[in-house]
Amino acid sequence: MKTLGQESPLQQGMARRQFLRYAGTGAAMAAGVLTIASCSKDHSATVTNDHVDLGSGDIAILNYAYALEQLEAAFYIQVAASPYANQSTYEKSLFTDIRDHEVAHREFFKAALGTAAIEGLTPNFSTINFSDRTSVLAAAKAFEDLGVSAYNGAGYMIQKVDYLALAGKIVSVEARHAALIRNLISPGSFADSTAVDANGLDGAKSPKDVVPIANTFLSGKKILAPALGIY
């Protein structure tokens, strides 16, 4: 597995530049902690004072998925616990199902990662009005579309075929969720041009694009992953 020391000189230079830029804007204390995290050749996740490091290699990808599933599970737990006004029985049953799927995904990654698992993250859903159907559905759509794009975009980074198979088993369930939520918002919008391109391809986003979005829903410790180029 690759560590920073094995990167090409160009990549190393890039990493160092980005790292220094980050460190320069951050607090001096944080920079000290980050140096330790960045130089770590350990593949397991590292917890720093104010960040959670996903680790490297397949562990990083699994922790990345675990982090996203933690967010989704927390979101749907709140949706189910405090239903929006005039929620139909049908919608209530759908949200209960989705909550249970996301909790199962979260618990699965936690069990599969064992001691390499990142800690529990603290979500911050202050931008979502849980008593309003429109707000909840919009947030659900954003989470599900993002989740699908995240799995699609990280699939090729997975080195072990068994892990790729597991990601495949989960991403299609996320896509089923995304389509359902979209149909609840507007019937027939399950895979419209905002989700699927002219070639009939769904979204694919790199961890570099997804993590900053996920971080906006976290209070306290944010996610970083130097091994994935996320500082």
DSSP 119: P
CA 198 – CA 222 distance, rounded (Å): 35
Q: Does 172 bind other proteins (CB under 8 A)?
A: yes
- Burial of 36 from C-beta contacts in 10 A (0-12 / 13-18 / 19+): exposed
* 150-169 positions binding other proteins, by CB under 8 A: 151-153, 155-156, 158-159, 161-166, 168-169
CA 128 – CA 140 distance, rounded (Å): 10
CB 73 within 8 A of CB 29: no
Minimum distance, C-beta of residue 177 to other proteins, in the bound complex (Å):
8
CA 57 – CA 163 distance, rounded (Å): 12
Minimum distance, C-beta of residue 54 to other proteins, in the bound complex (Å):
19
CB 211 within 8 A of CB 230: yes
Binding residue for other proteins, selected from 177, 221, 224, 230, defined by CB under 8 A: 177
Q: Does 24 bind other proteins (CB under 8 A)?
A: no
Amino acid found at 207: P
CB 139 within 8 A of CB 75: yes
Minimum distance, C-beta of residue 88 to other proteins, in the bound complex (Å):
13
Residue 37 vs 174, nearer CB to other proteins: 174
Minimum distance, C-beta of residue 119 to other proteins, in the bound complex (Å):
17
Binding residue for other proteins, selected from 29, 196, 208, 219, defined by CB under 8 A: 196
Binding residue for other proteins, selected from 195, 223, 224, 227, defined by CB under 8 A: 195
Minimum distance, C-beta of residue 122 to other proteins, in the bound complex (Å):
18
Q: Does 5 bind other proteins (CB under 8 A)?
A: no
* 86-145 positions binding other proteins, by CB under 8 A: 94, 97, 99-101, 103-105, 107-108, 111-112
Our measurement of the distance from residue 208's CA atom to the centroid of its chain's CA atoms, rounded to an integer in Å, reads 11
Binding residue for other proteins, selected from 179, 185, 213, 218, defined by CB under 8 A: 179
Residue 31 vs 204, nearer CB to other proteins: 204
What sign has the CA pseudo-torsion 24, 227, 151, 45?
negative
